[in-house]
Amino acid sequence: MIFDTHAHYDDEAFDADRSGILSGLADRGVGAVTDAASTYDSLSKIAEIVREWPFVYGAYGIHPEEIGGVPERPESPESNYEMPDWLIGELRSYLRGSGAVAVGEIGLDYHWNKDDRERQILWFETQIEIAREEHLPVVIHSRDAAKDTMDTARRMRLRDVGGVMHCYSYSPEMAKEYLDMGLYLGIGGVVTFKNARRVKEVVNYAPLSSLVLETDCPYLAPEPHRGTRNDSGTLRYVARAIAEIKGVSPDEVIHVTWENARRLYRINPENPDTGQAGSR
């Protein structure tokens, strides 16, 4: 079965048919999903999905692009810059709940907003420290921020925390250092694109034991569905593309990445319904 390690079924794109999509995933070969938070509002939505669907796990964190969307509270003036104490407390509550497996998605994104880098780095560091204290891995988003992401990973001793580089898009050389830290690389629909030379090079370089499958749905649908709403059922195309690059069968890719995902999220192999933070 396929483990989709990074999805966004809390997104409004699924509001009309979320239950139908999720209930049909098993018939499409998908056995587990991790829904990753991004906005403040997504935290509670994911917790509801995790409670309703036993095969869905939750990652809770604030995406770097969404820092400005966190509600302000008069009693927390530090929220204008630092991650406020009330939000840290809420995050910890979600992370200690049933089915919580990671802190994420967190990281740095300089693509659209180049003016709040210091604040992004501070929130990134704070959430890594929360992960360390809660004994959970991190799900890292990094866009147009290669150097600062790596510098933060080194400074925060990410090797001791563990996690995954979501939608990895940097060089094989940089991938080597993340792999040396013990991190996994998330590979999704981009690997099926004809012009995705760098991602294909990374997949060729990295051992299969360090790769996990992800959709980032509803975004980044693979060929031949590029440009449409994505969901976990399309990961068979990603597995096929990885298999062609690695010279193995798609079934082997699916099996190995399933085991990688369980190790990444520290899911008990003897009880797949039990995550690091609690049992169901």
Residue 250 · residue 240 · CB < 8 Å: yes
Going along the chain from its start, the domains and CATH numbers come out as: 2-264 (3.20.20.140)
Rounded Cα distance, 63 and 127, in Å:
10
User: Residues 123-137: what's their mean pLDDT?
Assistant: 98
Q: List strand residue ranges (DSSP E) for 117-261, in order.
A: 138-143, 163-165, 184-187, 211-213
Tokens representing 124 are: 């990134």
Q: List strand residue ranges (DSSP E) for 40-116, in order.
A: 56-59, 100-109
pLDDT in tens, 231-263: 999 999 999 999 999 999 999 999 999 999 999
Question: How many Cβ atoms are within 10 Å of 38's Cβ, its own excluded?
Answer: 23
Mean pLDDT of the chain: 93
pLDDT band at 75 (very low <50, low <70, confident <90, very high): low
Q: In what order do the strands lie in the sheet with 163-165?
A: 2-7, 30-36, 56-59, 100-109, 138-143, 163-165, 184-187, 211-213
Least confident range from 72-86, 187-201, 207-221, 251-265: namely 72-86
What was the pLDDT predicted at 278? 38
Q: Would you say residue 47 has pLDDT above 90?
A: yes
User: Residues 18-27: what's their mean pLDDT?
Assistant: 98
What was the pLDDT predicted at 59? 98
Rounded Cα distance, 160 and 162, in Å:
6
Is residue 50 helix, strand or coil?
helix
Tell me, what amino acid is at 214? E
Q: For a pLDDT cut of 90, what percent of the chain falls above it?
A: 88
